[in-house]
Amino acid sequence: MLNTAIVRLVAGLLLAMGLVSTPLPAQTVATSAAPQPQLLRIRMATFSAADLDAVERDYGRWLGYKVRERGVVSPELAGSWGAPRAAGRAYLLMSSDAAPDVYIRAVQASPAALALPYRPLTTYGWNGIELIVDDPDGLHAKLKDSPFRVIGEPAPLGAYPSIRAFQVVGPSGEVLYLTAETGDRSRSLLPLPNGEVGRIFIMVVAGPDIEALLDFYTTPFGLTRNKPRSVPVGVVIRAQSLAPGTGLPLTTTRLAQHGNLIEFDGYSANAGPRPLPEGDLPLGIVSTSFAVRKLDALKLDWLAAPQRLPGLAYGGGHAASVRGPAGEWVELIEE
């Protein structure tokens, strides 16, 4: 078996080719001395949407996602986010049949948020939702005629040609990374898609200081801290108008359950904070919701006290949110 250093070196070389932004999951090797990860899995990604009807139509027709719940943001949920102005706003909860309990939630954006400038991959916070898919080339061809705008063409991971990925921007400015294992999936480190488009398996967070991101996500949550590498990520380079080949710091870490990771990106000086109306939600990907065992085991500065929140996504468990160092919402749900 390749040791940790070799795996990281290979992953860095593949990423440096600019094929995809996601490192090989194999780069994180657990040891007996490693702390137990407190983040179990990704349960949900939430983004703001200008048109919920368009989200329902587009995610349903092109990605096969189905509406599991419709509702309005309760005062309790808005308070949990520290965003009281979001109360009463409509939302959709969608998922694939392949993983019906891993959700994408779209919340109606406010006029105040829609009036602010926003360009994908140019602001701090959550910047990418990575979905496992069955056939990236077939899906890429299908999405050419869709509202999902392709920003990165399907490409193999160099010496691992069975792993392919491409990237799109959704109708609300949310960035999706679409990745597949096209070889022997029984031995792959990627999760099974179990359909044309499966569940979220990586969330991408970016900020001006990658070390601050790593401090926040590794120390309190017991995740392995991996050393960042300088990687020229094509979609980020183009979005931020950087010179071709410009390297930016990047690394990943695994959650407790197989096929669940966080990617950390250090952004250039051409990026900046995401515009945010006071007491409201920003545009783009607002939050990532993670499953945890016990909230009271975590020593965090909650935006509001943990409570049982209404809605299918919470499953009757206690939930609470914190703000990360790049301004991103991190929602934690007991299961």
Burial class of residue 226 in the structure, from the number of CB atoms within 10 Å of its CB (0-12 exposed, 13-18 middle, 19+ buried): buried
Kindly report the backbone phi and psi dihedral angles of residue 119, in degrees, each rounded to the nearest multiple of 5, phi listed first: -130, 130
Kindly report the backbone phi and psi dihedral angles of residue 34, in degrees, each rounded to the nearest multiple of 5, phi listed first: -70, 140
Domain 42-116+295-321: give its CATH architecture: Roll (3.10)
Looking only at the bridges linking them, the beta strands covering 261-266 and 197-207 are parallel
Looking only at the bridges linking them, the beta strands covering 103-108 and 125-133 are unpaired
CATH superfamily of 4-37+117-266: 2,3-Dihydroxybiphenyl 1,2-Dioxygenase, domain 1 (3.10.180.10)
Every domain of the chain and the residues it spans: 4-37+117-266, 42-116+295-321
Q: Supply the pLDDT for residue 35.
A: 67
Is the Cβ–Cβ distance between 156 and 184 less than 8 Å? no
Q: Supply the pLDDT for residue 20.
A: 46
Q: Is the pLDDT of residue 159 over 80?
A: no
Lowest mean pLDDT among 135-144, 149-158, 314-323: 149-158
Q: What percent of the chain stands above pLDDT 90?
A: 82
3-state secondary structure 276-324: CCCCCCCCCEEEEEEEECCHHHCCCCCCCCCEECCCHHHCCCEEEEEEC
**pLDDT tens per residue across span 10-20:** 344 344 434 44
Q: Is the pLDDT of residue 24 over 60?
A: no
pTM, two decimal places: 0.89
Buried b (16+ CB within 10 A) or exposed e, 167-182: bbbbbbbbbbbbbbbb
Distance CA 212, CA 114 (A): 29
pLDDT band for position 116 (50/70/90)?
very high
**Which secondary-structure segment (H or E) carries 196?**
none
What is the residue-averaged pLDDT of the chain? 90
Beta strands across the sheet bearing 149-157: 149-157, 160-169, 175-181, 125-133, 197-207, 261-266, 248-254, 229-231
**pLDDT tens per residue across span 187-220:** 888 999 999 999 999 999 999 999 999 999 998 9
Q: Supply the pLDDT for residue 183.
A: 87
Q: Is the pLDDT of residue 5 over 80?
A: no
Q: Supply the pLDDT for residue 113.
A: 96
Q: Is the pLDDT of residue 68 over 90?
A: yes
**pLDDT tens per residue across span 224-244:** 999 999 989 999 999 999 999
Q: Is the pLDDT of residue 112 over 70?
A: yes
DSSP labels, 51-92 = -HHHHHHHHHHHH--EEEEEEE--HHHHHHHT-GGGTT-EEE
**pLDDT tens per residue across span 279-323:** 999 999 999 999 999 999 998 999 999 999 999 999 999 999 999
